[in-house]
Amino acid sequence: MANYYSDHPELKFHLDNPLMKRIVELKERDYTESEKFEDAPVDYEDAIENYDRLLQITGDVAANIIAANAESVDLEGPHLENGRMIYASKTVENMEAATKAGLWGLDMPRRYGGLNIPMTTFSMLSEVISAADASFQNIWSLQSCIDTLYEFGSEEQRQKYIPRVCAGETMSMDLTEPDAGSDLQRVMLKATFDEKENCWRLNGVKRFITNGDSDIHLVLARSEEGTKDGRGLSMFIYDKREGGVDVRHIEHKLGIHGSPTCELTYKNAKAELCGSTRLGLIKYVMALMNGARLGIAAQSVGVEQEAYNEALAYAKERAQFGTKIVDMPAVYDMISRMKAKLDAGRSLLYQTSRYVDIYKALEDIQRDRKLTAEERDELKKYSRLADAFTPMAKGMNSEYANQNAYDAISVHGGSGFIMEYKSQRLFRDARIFSIYEGTTQLQVVAAIRYITNGTYVNIIKEMLENEVSENLQGLKERTAQMLEKLETAIATVKEHANQDVQDFLGRRLYNMTGDIIMSLLILSDATKAPELFEKSANVYVRMAEEEVNGHASYIAAFRPEDLEYFKAREAAAE
Partner 1 sequence: MSLKIVVLAKQVPDTRNVGKDAMTAEGTVNRAALPAIFNPEDMNALEQALRLKEQYPGTTVGVLTMGPPRAGEIIREGLYRGADTGWLLTDRLFAGADTLATSYALATAIKKIGDVDIVIGGRQAIDGDTAQVGPQVAQKLGLNQVTYAEEIEKCEDGKLTIRRHIDGGVETVVAPMPCVVTVNGSAAPCRPANAKLTMKYKRATCPLERPADDKYAYLYEQRPYLNLNQWSVADVDGDPSQCGMAGSPTKVKEVVNIVFQAKESKTLTSSDADIEGLVKELLNDKIIG
Q: Is 50 among the residues that bind partner 1 (CB under 8 A)?
A: yes
Which residues make beta-bridge pairs with 217? 172, 238
Residue among 16, 29, 39, 319 that touches partner 1 (CB under 8 A): 39
**What is the pairing mode between strands 171-174 and 199-210?**
unpaired
Residue among 38, 183, 561, 570 that touches partner 1 (CB under 8 A): 38
* Torsional sign, CA 443, 445, 448, 450: negative
Residue among 9, 42, 241, 419 that touches partner 1 (CB under 8 A): 42
Q: Is 167 among the residues that bind partner 1 (CB under 8 A)?
A: no
* Torsional sign, CA 533, 537, 543, 547: positive
Residue 281 is classified by DSSP as I
Q: Is 262 among the residues that bind partner 1 (CB under 8 A)?
A: no
CB of 7 to partner 1, least distance (A): 14
Q: Is 188 among the residues that bind partner 1 (CB under 8 A)?
A: no
Q: Is 102 among the residues that bind partner 1 (CB under 8 A)?
A: yes
Residue among 28, 60, 357, 515 that touches partner 1 (CB under 8 A): 60
Q: Is 155 among the residues that bind partner 1 (CB under 8 A)?
A: no
Cα→Cα distances 15→29, 46, 231, 268, 343, Å: 19, 13, 40, 47, 14
Q: Is 220 among the residues that bind partner 1 (CB under 8 A)?
A: no
Q: Is 516 among the residues that bind partner 1 (CB under 8 A)?
A: no
Which residues make beta-bridge pairs with 320? 323
- The smaller minimum CB distance to partner 1, of residues 65 and 298, is found at 65
Q: Is 7 among the residues that bind partner 1 (CB under 8 A)?
A: no
- The smaller minimum CB distance to partner 1, of residues 42 and 419, is found at 42
Q: Is 57 among the residues that bind partner 1 (CB under 8 A)?
A: yes
- The smaller minimum CB distance to partner 1, of residues 49 and 546, is found at 49
Which residues make beta-bridge pairs with 271? 200
Give the number of C-alpha atoms closer than 13 A to the C-alpha of residue 440, restricted to the C-beta side.
Answer: 19
Rounded CA gap, 144 and 108, in Å?
9
Q: Which stretch binds partner 1 (CB under 8 A): 60-68, 131-139, 223-231, 261-269?
A: 60-68
Rounded CA gap, 97 and 60, in Å?
11
Q: Is 101 among the residues that bind partner 1 (CB under 8 A)?
A: yes
Q: Is 65 among the residues that bind partner 1 (CB under 8 A)?
A: yes
First to last CA, the chain: 63
Q: Which stretch binds partner 1 (CB under 8 A): 44-52, 133-141, 143-151, 373-381?
A: 44-52
Nearest of 205, 215, 203, 129 to residue 171 by alpha carbon: 215
Alpha-helical regions (H) of 62-132: 67-76, 89-100, 119-132
E-assigned strand segments in 87-170: none
- The smaller minimum CB distance to partner 1, of residues 45 and 229, is found at 45
Binding site for partner 1 (CB under 8 A): 38-42, 46, 49-50, 53-54, 57-58, 60-61, 65, 97, 100-103, 106, 115
